[in-house]
Amino acid sequence: MNTLTQNTYNPEELIPAFKKLYGDSSENIRVFSSPARINIIGEHIDYNGGKVFPAAINKYLYVAVRKRSDSKIIYNDLRFPGTYEFDINDDFKFDKKNDYSNYLNGILSEIKNSGFVFPCGFEILMVSNIPAGGGISSSSALECGFAYAVSETFGFGIDRVSIAKLGQLSEHRFIGVNCGIMDQFIIATGKKNTAELLDCASLEYEYAPLDLGDFCFVVMNTNKMRKLSDSKYNERRSQCEQALKLLNEAGVKCSNLCELTVEQWKDAEVFIKDEILLRRARHCVYENRRVLDAFNAVKNGNLSELGELLNKSHESLKNDYEVTGIELDTLVSAAQKQEGCLGARMTGAGFGGCAIALVRKSQVERFEQNVQAEYTKVTGYEAGFFACETGDGVAALF
């Protein structure tokens, strides 16, 4: 069974590999880590001014970096073949053939746009234990981990919230995905043993101790790759903007959909005649409410209630927001039926990627076997599973 229970690479491995690749030099090699994330609840509402409740988890990307004496930039990754070379003075442009380097060059562009000046180039070696394109934010981990590594190495001292903003800007302007801020924010600011309640309208945030007792979150990977830029992500975002416009034109005063309480929504919904836009907006209002309920449930240690909220969230993402699909729906409904599972839902953008389930620790093994069997029977794919713990946001390791 494809059960990932531990990280495959550790950061120490990067140093000898780095020296072998780039040779020795008097400059220090620094190593940084950047986590994956799960979103416990609050899906597709970060770009609607909503509140979200993600946590950084203990699966990391590691970035080793060393300054060079010339202006070259060289990128390598232990797992992906190919060396990418640029010059720090280049005017970086997205180019498909540059593969993952686009994420790094996008960040460099934004750092330079913010007025920081690089006195020399640098070389990079990375390795990641985060499944790529899998819905737990491998690309934001790359963006924020790299931004933090470069900022610390060159003494720019960019604060964590600005690291998150750089990552989001780079997605918008360089990669072409109009994502919200949630992924970059939790990856930059996450703290072990906590989840974070983030208000995406004001960027105010608070940590909530995440004590799950005998339970844990199991990440379930559909192993169906998706690329956000190819998906309907941008379309969903513009549907929400259209719904908001209709409400505003009808005199409903709100600057984003999540500003509406459930009660206000009940008066306002008549102004959206288009059935699809109505469902998209309804998801946003109710999902935002569920986030606040989930935050309180965690605070009060009421895990059964948290589980029920996860189930409701998935239903809404399936029926109203339509971002699930057969793979995620199969995983989630199989999970919800298992003994010891309090609830399950897709996490992240959807359209493939990952789901999470809240499962009693002693029943995780049986849970994974049963869900796997049902998933393979229906879809023909093998799912990946791992029970996760919380992790720390971007950090300097050595």
**Catalytic site positions:** 183
Phi, psi of 356 (to 5 degrees): -125, 150
Paired residues of 30 in beta bridges: 65
Number of residue whose CB is nearest ligand GLA:
180
Pick the stretch among 74-82, 178-186, 208-216, 310-318 that binds ligand GLA (CB under 6 A).
178-186
Say whether residue 36 binds ligand GLA (CB under 6 A): no
Pick the stretch among 86-94, 177-185, 207-215, 306-314 that binds ligand GLA (CB under 6 A).
177-185
Phi, psi of 68 (to 5 degrees): -110, 170
- The structure tokens listed for 250 are 């009808």
Say whether residue 167 binds ligand GLA (CB under 6 A): no
Say whether residue 46 binds ligand GLA (CB under 6 A): yes
Write each residue from 316 to 355 as x if it is in contact with ligand GLA (CB under 6 A), else as -, in one continuous string.
Answer: --------------------------------xx------
Contact 387, 216 (CB under 8 A): yes
For the CB of residue 185, give the shortest distance to ligand GLA in the complex, in Å: 9
Angle at 397 (CA atoms; ends 396, 398), nearest 5 degrees: 100
The residue type found at 238 is S
Helix (H) or strand (E) holding 371: helix 364-379
Q: Strand ranges (DSSP E) for the chain?
A: 30-41, 51-67, 72-77, 84-87, 122-128, 194-199, 205-209, 215-221, 341-347, 354-360, 384-388, 395-396
Helix (H) or strand (E) holding 247: helix 233-249
Write each residue from 181 to 210 as x if it is in contact with ligand GLA (CB under 6 A), else as -, in one continuous string.
Answer: -xx---------------------------
The binder of ligand GLA chosen from 141, 149, 158, 179 (CB under 6 A): 179
Pick the stretch among 103-111, 175-183, 254-262, 301-309 that binds ligand GLA (CB under 6 A).
175-183
For the CB of residue 326, give the shortest distance to ligand GLA in the complex, in Å: 19
**Crossing angle of the two packed helices 138-153 and 101-113, in degrees rounded to 10:** 50
d(C-alpha 191, C-alpha 209), whole Å: 9
Pick the stretch among 43-51, 85-93, 145-153, 328-336 that binds ligand GLA (CB under 6 A).
43-51
Say whether residue 43 binds ligand GLA (CB under 6 A): yes
Contact 220, 65 (CB under 8 A): no
Say whether residue 44 binds ligand GLA (CB under 6 A): yes
Q: Which is nearer to ligand GLA, 313 or 372 (CB)?
A: 313
Q: Which is nearer to ligand GLA, 46 or 368 (CB)?
A: 46
Closest listed residue to residue 77, CA positions, set 101, 109, 97, 96: 101
For the CB of residue 180, give the shortest distance to ligand GLA in the complex, in Å: 3
d(C-alpha 220, C-alpha 348), whole Å: 12
Say whether residue 219 binds ligand GLA (CB under 6 A): no
Paired residues of 197 in beta bridges: 206
For the CB of residue 298, give the shortest distance to ligand GLA in the complex, in Å: 18
The site for ligand GLA (CB under 6 A) is made up of: 39, 43-44, 46-47, 179-180, 182-183, 348-349
